[in-house]
């Protein structure tokens, strides 16, 4: 007759602090190496277009003649393919999540 | 002969993780017959092979399901590698095994929480998912993503894990293991839980085999069959025996999954002790030409990926047969004759992953 | 090579007998899959026993494709047979639990075989 086996867990957690983070009032713990928002160092970019060719969701557009680099934030799945293939290593995935968007726009750098 | 009514269960129901519809033919609170209705999350992912190249398709394969995502990617990559004859480096195989077992731990903890929710034990549900958060932290630190790992690619893995990270992983897993022992103690020994699980949904050994059940549904009925015995990835070097329980009721299936939690921690410890140094991927040149049925053991059972390629960048056919699709006839068999209040318990005892099932 | 996989060619007429032999030998039904190859459909019936994989395979022309049902031998096959009907338009004769095309409700009927001739009317299962 084993009953109330939860007592150990309940008693332990009756005195411990809650594990939940009171986000957004408390900061979110960023895990290094987490794949979040894509950032580009546009000064180092040579507009070769390899990132756009390798993007599996076609979220990147490179305009070579006018030297523009566009990203569709809502299409990006943060896979990191572009980061791997960039010859100048000017792309980086930061651990932050993206800014919420309500319309599908191209963000231009 | 009592009065028969038809009660619709789902697609929206508090216990269901994903939408499935069951028409329950009920006679005075006993379920007599079940007519399933699926297709609520059918996304036609198999047709995307016509558009995506085979190297990019691994991202689609991973996103078939959120809970079992890594093993989908791994099975797909394994299939392509077998067709192309690529020799995946041993370190990549070990890393895939470690991530696969982490995926199994987090999936079983998720299932344990949902099972507790199915019989109304909310506190246990929350504690299971709290422990699962620590496993997700380990996964996020090593692969970059909590749920969609994004670390498998054709030819190997995409990122490496440092020895310091592996040590930290083992320390975290030791803490997680201590907490899991307390949770499993409640699942397996508490009388009120046993009252809801024992004797409910009995699936005999012969039925389980004939209906093609897979995974813990099959192993809970006494058949010790596990695709990890095929020795894919690094399982050939690890000491592993499938866990089977003979009774065939929900309690047996629960016990199989609970013991698999500790078995996975043990497998990770073995893999980390034996992991060799070296490359993590080989370069992929050309395109696959041929066909293969790639089989692995997902947390829910046997996953079969049929891949057919003809030498071009797009595959001819990618077919994924999910374990939940195989367990669906077993579920229908189990539901006949049960009480109405046991329906959520039985639906969850096969660990349904409907989004997997319907791709 | 992880495992060797045996492919056995059969014909639609001998399918049910071959599947019955699989059941008598203790095989478990793994899956029923269809591949579209041009204007033909290739059907794969996969079985497993103690992790040895056997596959029965044959081809049918896409227009008017009909197969006998194996749900009399393996009851679990009804799910796969409904799926191959809904996605590929293959007519399965004698399915014990036939959803008549409502298993997957897609916006386009038989999405995997765009542009093919419609399947013939279903035959009701034989009375026992």
Residue C115 Cα distances to B49, B131, C92, C108, angstroms: 19, 52, 20, 11
A9 vs B52, B127, B141: nearest CB: B127
List the subunits that have 3+ CB pairs under 8 angstroms with C.
B
Q: What is the per-residue pLDDT for C115?
A: 53
Report the topology of domain C5-109.
Beta Polymerase; domain 2 (3.30.460)
Please list, residue by residue across B125-140, b when 16 or more beta carbons sit within 10 angstroms of its beta carbon and e when fewer do: bebbbbbbebbbbbbb
What's the distance, CA C95 to chain centroid?
Answer: 11
Q: Which residues of A touch B168 (CB under 8 A)?
A: none
Q: Which of B77, B66, B272, B35 is nearest to B170 (CA)?
A: B272
Question: What burial letters (b/e) apply to C66-77, b meaning 16+ CB within 10 Å?
Answer: ebbbbbbbbbbb
Q: What is the DSSP string of A52-76?
A: HHH-TT--EEEETTTTEEEEETTT-
Give the domain extent around A86: 39-97
Q: Using CB atoms within 10 A of its CB, is residue A77 exposed (0-12), middle (13-18) or buried (19+)?
A: middle
- Going by pLDDT thresholds of 50, 70 and 90, the confidence category of residue B207 is confident
CB atoms B150 and A78 under 8 Å: yes
pLDDT tens column, B282-301: 888 888 888 888 888 889 88
Partner-chain residue, chosen from B137, B185, B189, that has the shortest CB–CB distance to A31:
B137
**CATH code assigned at A58:** 3.30.70.20
Mutate to test the interface with C, among B82, B96, B210 (most CBs of C within 10 A): B210
**Three-state secondary structure call for residue C78:** helix
Interchain pair B189, A5: CB under 8 A: yes
Q: Is residue A107 part of a domain?
A: no
Using a CB-CB cut-off of 8 Å, the residues of chain B touching A35 are 144-145, 150
Domain count, chain A: 1
Nearest Cα residue in chain A from B128: A9
What is chain B's length? 359
Q: Does B182 touch chain A (CB under 8 A)?
A: yes
| Residue of C82, C58, C57 whose CA lies nearest to C69 | C82
H or E element in which residue B335 lies: helix B323-335
Q: How far apart are CA B173 and CA B273, in angstroms?
A: 14
Give dist(CA C57, CA B307) in Å, integer: 15
Residues 51-90 of B with CB under 8 A from A: 52, 56, 59-60
B abuts A (3+ Cβ pairs < 8 Å):
yes
Q: What is the ipTM of this complex?
A: 0.84
B28-64 per-position pLDDT tens digit: 888 888 888 888 888 888 888 888 888 888 888 888 8
Of the pLDDT bands very low, low, confident and very high (cuts 50, 70, 90), residue C128 is: very low
DSSP string, B116-127: HHHTT-HHHHHH
Residue A68 lies in a domain: yes
Residues of B in contact with C1 (CB under 8 A): 82
Across the interface, of A5, A10, A57, the residue whose CB is closest to B185 is: A5
Confidence of residue C2 (pLDDT cuts 50, 70, 90): low
Give the separation between CA C86 and CA B78, rounded to whole angstroms: 29
Tokens read off for A100: 């919420």
- What does the block give as tokens for B145? 């993503």
* Distance (Å, whole) CA A45 – CA A90: 6
In a domain, A33, yes or no: no
Angle between helices B163-189 and B250-274 (to 10 degrees): 160
3-class DSSP assignment, residue B344: helix
Q: What is the pLDDT of residues B59-117, one digit of tens each?
A: 888 888 888 889 999 999 988 888 888 888 989 989 999 999 999 999 999 999 999 88
CB-nearest to C2 from B82, B225, B330 is: B82
Rounded-to-integer distance, Cα A101 and Cα A96, Å: 15
CB contact under 8 A, B78 and C2: yes
Contact B47/C112, CB-based, under 8 Å? yes
What is the crossing angle of helices B90-118 and B69-84, to 10°? 150
Which domains are assigned to chain B? 4-346 (1.10.645.10)
> Which residue of B lies nearest to C105 if distances are taken between CA atoms?
B39
């Amino acid at each position: 007759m084993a009953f109330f086996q939860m007592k150990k867990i309940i008693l332990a957690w009756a005195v411990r602090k809650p594990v939940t983070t009171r986000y957004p009032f408390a900061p979110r713990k960023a895990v290094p190496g987490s794949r979040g928002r894509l950032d580009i160092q546009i000064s180092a970019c040579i507009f070769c277009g390899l990132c756009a060719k390798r993007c599996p969701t076609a979220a990147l557009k490179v305009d070579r003649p006018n030297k523009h680099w566009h990203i569709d934030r809502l299409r990006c799945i943060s896979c990191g393919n572009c980061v791997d293939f960039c010859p100048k290593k000017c792309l980086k995935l930061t651990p932050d999540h993206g800014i919420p968007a309500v319309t599908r726009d191209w963000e231009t750098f | 002969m009592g009065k028969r009514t038809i009660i619709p269960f789902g697609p929206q129901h508090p216990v269901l993780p994903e939408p499935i519809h069951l028409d329950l033919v009920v006679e005075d609170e006993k379920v007599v017959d079940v007519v399933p209705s699926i297709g609520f999350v059918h996304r036609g992912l198999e047709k995307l092979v016509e558009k995506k190249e085979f190297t990019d398709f691994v991202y689609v394969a991973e996103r078939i399901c959120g809970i079992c995502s890594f093993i989908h990617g791994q099975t797909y990559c394994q299939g392509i590698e077998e067709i192309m004859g690529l020799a995946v480096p041993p370190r990549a195989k070990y890393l895939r095994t470690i991530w696969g077992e982490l995926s199994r731990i987090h999936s079983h903890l998720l299932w344990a929480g949902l099972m507790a929710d199915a019989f109304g034990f909310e506190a246990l549900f929350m504690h299971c998912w709290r422990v699962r958060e620590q496993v997700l932290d380990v996964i996020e630190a090593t692969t970059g993503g909590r749920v969609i790992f994004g670390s498998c690619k054709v030819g190997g893995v995409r990122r490496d894990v440092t020895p310091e990270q592996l040590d930290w992983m083992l320390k975290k897993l030791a803490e997680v293991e201590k907490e899991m022992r307390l949770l499993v103690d409640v699942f397996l020994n508490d009388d009120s839980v046993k009252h809801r699980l024992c004797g409910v949904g009995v699936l005999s050994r012969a039925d389980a085999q004939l209906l093609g059940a897979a995974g813990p549904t099959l192993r809970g009925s006494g058949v010790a069959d596990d695709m990890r015995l095929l020795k894919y990835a690094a399982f050939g070097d690890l000491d592993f025996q499938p866990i089977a329980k003979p009774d065939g009721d929900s309690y047996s299936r629960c016990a199989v999954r609970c013991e698999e939690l500790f078995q996975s921690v043990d497998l990770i410890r073995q893999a980390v002790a034996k992991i060799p140094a070296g490359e993590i991927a080989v370069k992929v040149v050309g395109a696959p030409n041929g066909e293969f049925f790639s089989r692995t053991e997902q947390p829910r059972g046997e996953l079969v990926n049929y891949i057919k390629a003809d030498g071009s960048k797009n595959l001819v056919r990618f077919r994924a047969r999910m374990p939940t699709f195989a367990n669906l006839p077993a579920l229908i068999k189990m539901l006949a004759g049960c009480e109405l209040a046991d329906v959520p318990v039985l639906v969850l005892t096969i660990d349904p992953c409907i989004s997997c099932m319907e791709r | 090579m992880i495992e060797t996989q045996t492919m056995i060619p059969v014909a639609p007429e001998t399918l049910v007998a071959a599947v019955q032999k699989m059941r008598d030998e203790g095989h478990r039904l793994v899956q029923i899959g269809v591949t579209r190859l041009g204007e033909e459909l290739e059907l794969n019936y996969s079985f497993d026993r103690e992790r040895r994989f056997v596959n029965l395979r044959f081809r049918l022309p896409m227009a008017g494709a009909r197969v006998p049902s194996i749900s009399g031998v393996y009851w679990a096959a009804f799910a796969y047979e409904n799926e191959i009907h809904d996605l590929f338009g293959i007519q399965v004769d004698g399915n014990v639990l036939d959803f008549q095309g409502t298993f997957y409700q897609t916006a386009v009927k038989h999405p995997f075989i765009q542009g093919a001739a419609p399947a013939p009317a279903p035959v009701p299962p034989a009375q026992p």
